[in-house]
Structure 1
Amino acid sequence: MPYTSCRSPQGLGLSKIGNSCHFDVLFVDINHRMPLSVTSIYTDLNIMFLACNITCPHHSTMWKIDNFNVSKGHGLVTTGGGVGNSGKETIGNWFNIVKYDGAYNYKIAYCLSMCPSCKHECKNVGMVMDQNGNQCLALSDVPFQFRFFKA
């Protein structure tokens, strides 16, 4: 849930792009938000939606950075990643949850620590506006700040 001065009516959900089974992670209203699952390997995490009603039943809801290229900066957070198996084939799938600006505030970072041959670097995951006016998660200089709330 995004951090605001009160409980936000928004959450995270999926948006299908065109006719393909390609989904971007974006902010949605309270009626469309979806629960998340986090799988941990040391400090590195796989994040996925627990979706049972998406229109592409064989498509993974595991988060990944689309069009992976950290040096370009604004890779969108999409779905279709693979679970575990650290290495170059899953390099876009690894995230961290990091304490940020206060005792109860956190941010999501995309990190390359699971790839031994890659330079260890973390980038903030923040919010960007897409061409349709949707608020999407993407690599950003400004982090997406949130708090955990008991479900």
Structure 2
Amino acid sequence: MYHSTLYFLFSALSICIQSNVWMIEEYEGQLIVSAHGVSENPGQETISNWFKIEKFEDDYKLVFCPTVCDFCKPVCGDIGVTISENGIRRLAISDVPFKVMFKKA
């Protein structure tokens, strides 16, 4: 089954000038989801910004395995919740996917 690659952009009010686009970046030895990405422009320069939504059991899961670059070889994996040593919960590439459900708004 083909799953198109997409990026997540959130509308949010903030006094900070920052991105609201998800991306994968390394932090304290983990590949975590951050909001430092760039919207659109699929390709090698934005490879860390692209995700997939795949069917998982009765719901869905988020996956990082972009297909926006024909010759790039990204690390692929499910997005799950990890907990740091100081108790901070983050979305990150994980062996245990975080199950998500979508409802019509």
TM-score, reference length from structure 1: 0.61
Match of 1:62 among 3, 21, 38: 21
Point out where structure 2 has 5 or more consecutive residues left out of the alignment: none
2:2 equivalent to 1:44: no
Query: Would you say how many aligned residue pairs link Structure 1 and Structure 2?
Result: 102
Q: Which letter maps to 1:66? A: E
2:34 maps to a residue whose letter is T
- The amino acid that maps onto 1:130 is S
Let me know the Cα RMSD of the aligned residues.
2.1
- How far the C-alpha of 1:122 sits from its partner, in A, is 3.3
CA offsets 1:75-132 (integer angstroms, 9 cap, x no match): 0100110111112210110000001112xx0000001311111137631000101243
Match of residue 122, structure 1, among 60, 73, 76: 76
Larger Rg: 1
* SS state at 1:116 partner: coil
Structure 1 counterpart of 2:15, one-letter code? T
Structure 1 residue ranges without an equivalent (≥5): 1-41
What is the CA deviation profile of residues 46-89 of structure 1, one whole-angstrom value per residue up to 9, with x for unaligned ones?
1022101x231x21110000129xxx7x3010011011111221
Q: Distance in 2 between matches of 1:150 and 1:76?
A: 28
Q: Tell me how far 1:145 sits from its aligned partner.
A: 0.4
CA distance in 2, matches of 1:92, 1:107: 18
* Structure number having the greater strand percentage: 1
The answer to whether the Cα contact below 8 Å between 1:124 and 1:142 also exists between their aligned partners in 2 is: yes
Q: Give the counterpart of 1:111 among 47, 54, 65.
A: 65
Tell me the distance in 1 between the aligned counterparts of 2:9 and 2:87. 24
Report the identity percentage.
38
